[in-house]
Amino acid sequence: MVNFLLIIKRIVPFTKKDIDKGNTPLEIYDLCMSLKETFCLSYAIRKLNNLYLYFIEESFFIRFKGEQLRYLGPDERSQAILLNKAINLYPSILEEKRNNWRKSTPGIHVKRISDFFEEFNALFGEMMKFLILKNIHLKETSINLEKELEEITRNSQKVLFILPFPEVEDESMIFMKKLERITHVKIHKLSFLSRVSDKILYINYQWDLIEEKTCRNGDLQ
């Protein structure tokens, strides 16, 4: 199972009218592209993938579970509409006393949290965790991602890839340092890719290659 956690600075408001007019904000378009690369195959959904969006300023999570997703198509409009419905729940959950996951549409839930790192450990504590950066800020060396993925596949481990959006990686060094220190992530640099969606595409591609190789070797034994 592959999990992606995208760290985003803030919610960018938009409406269905913006979507219909083709005026989807660039930040939302980038999130839609990340949704597409996480889940969409030519004629199917990657049901073993999960995607989490965390908005720092609002302390707000959106969770997409691949095996439960409905209505998600490969087109930007369907992705933006689902995302808009989830984001629009934020004002109402501010009034709730209990911070529980609330359903938006099938496979999509939202939650406001009080402590990111407490929630992080509850959600991902037992997973192998990788922080994917465009530059190495927190450590001087980068792991060999392909070898790490081969080891994870052999051991059937669950994995989490943490991908901060550029403004977070560039500006939120305190958050990033705390993330590394508390969660014990392994860090890998993908400097040849700038967009988060391209990094997801690359990771899924590498994962597919390794799983195909593992299955082929298993058939030969």
CB 197 within 8 A of CB 6: no
Helix (H) or strand (E) holding 60: strand 60-65
Cα separation of 23 and 18, whole Å?
Answer: 5
User: Per residue of the chain (221 residues), what is the pLDDT tens digit?
Assistant: 799 999 999 999 999 999 998 888 999 999 999 999 999 987 788 999 999 999 999 999 999 999 999 989 888 999 999 999 999 999 998 887 677 899 999 999 999 998 999 999 999 988 999 988 876 655 556 678 888 888 887 777 789 999 999 888 877 667 777 777 777 788 888 878 889 999 999 999 988 888 887 776 665 44
Q: Using alpha carbons, list the distances in angstroms from residue 150 to 94, 132, 143, 146, 198.
A: 42, 17, 13, 6, 21
Indicate the domain borders of the chain: 2-220
Domain 2-220 - what CATH class?
Answer: alpha beta
Q: Tell me, what's the pLDDT at 138?
A: 52
For residue 188, with 0-12 CB atoms within 10 Å meaning exposed, 13-18 middle and 19 or more buried, which class applies?
buried
